Amino acid sequence: MKKEKRGKIWSGFFFNLLGIVLGIILTFGGNALWQKREENKKIKEMLILVRNELKDCKEWFTGQEKVMKKDAYVYRKILEAKDNLTSIPADTLDAYHSQVLGLYITPLTTSAWEIFHNSEMIQKLSEKELVIRLTDCYVLINILHDFILKDYWDTKKKTNTLFDFDPYRFFKAVMKNNELVFFYAKYNPDQDGIWKLFLEVDAVIDYTIMLLDQHGDYRYDMEEKDNEINSFVKARKDSVYPPKDTIK
């Protein structure tokens, strides 16, 4: 009788213990799964922000390229006129004057990438190669961004140190000091390096957005992707060069 009782006690104890252990496992396991799901959710949300930021970067560079090419067109027309500025209609010269004096620029923002890059989330992203591609993309973005802000726009501001409200006096003064000649020689549309950099950044942004759209649904091979992105960028450049006269 005592044996039976002891057996029931031990049996009850065992099942209670088993229930407790299983409860702990399920609790911690479920919590781990929940945390993993929340982490993946945050990573996905952050990658969406980065993707949207890349689209904004692409639009910003497209806008800057148009402004710079329009500048080049204006400078070329002024240089062609030389001392005969009266050959240019007054309203056209006014428009040229406004274009050259347009010095306001809103700097590009890359805050989404900076937050993601400095967070723990980036360490938890399983596709490390994607991180490498994002990093490379933003390095290129920063190179072109710095060039536009610190080189092009600073030089343009120096060109306009001889400010004058009258377009005729303004362009005569600039031509006399050779500022316009120097500026056009440095940034004219025939300088392939500048415009090819725009093309390369545009292609790399598009390629990186494509990778982000495929996030979690593809197998990533670094060597294969190196060849793929090089082909992608080359195709984009080949589609535009030899250059066409689009500065109108």
Tell whether the model's pLDDT for residue 138 goes beyond 90: yes
Per-residue pLDDT band for 247 (boundaries 50, 70, 90) equals: very low
C-alpha dihedral (18, 20, 23, 28), degrees to nearest 10: -110
Whole-angstrom Cα distance, residue 245 to residue 108? 28
231 phi and psi angles, rounded to 5 deg: -65, -40
- Axis crossing angle, helix 192-213 with helix 128-146, rounded to the nearest 10: 150
Q: Rounded mean pLDDT of the chain? A: 78
- Mean per-residue pLDDT, 97-108: 85
Nearest alpha-carbon partner for 207 in 223, 230, 184: 230
Taking the alpha carbons at both ends of the chain, their separation in whole angstroms is 105
More confident residue, 126 or 172: 172
- Which pLDDT score, from 0 to 100, does residue 4 have? 54
More confident residue, 159 or 145: 145
- Mean per-residue pLDDT, 34-54: 82
Whole-angstrom Cα distance, residue 22 to residue 16? 10
Tell whether the model's pLDDT for residue 111 goes beyond 80: yes
Whole-angstrom Cα distance, residue 189 to residue 194? 8
- Which pLDDT score, from 0 to 100, does residue 173 have? 81
Tell whether the model's pLDDT for residue 149 goes beyond 50: yes
- Tokens found for residue 19: 């229930």
Lowest-confidence pick of 45-49, 100-104, 203-207: 100-104
Per-residue pLDDT band for 213 (boundaries 50, 70, 90) equals: confident
CB count within 10 Å of CB 44 equals 12
Tell whether the model's pLDDT for residue 248 goes beyond 50: no
Whole-angstrom Cα distance, residue 88 to residue 76? 13
Contacts of 124 by beta carbon, 8 Å cutoff, 6+ apart: 39, 43
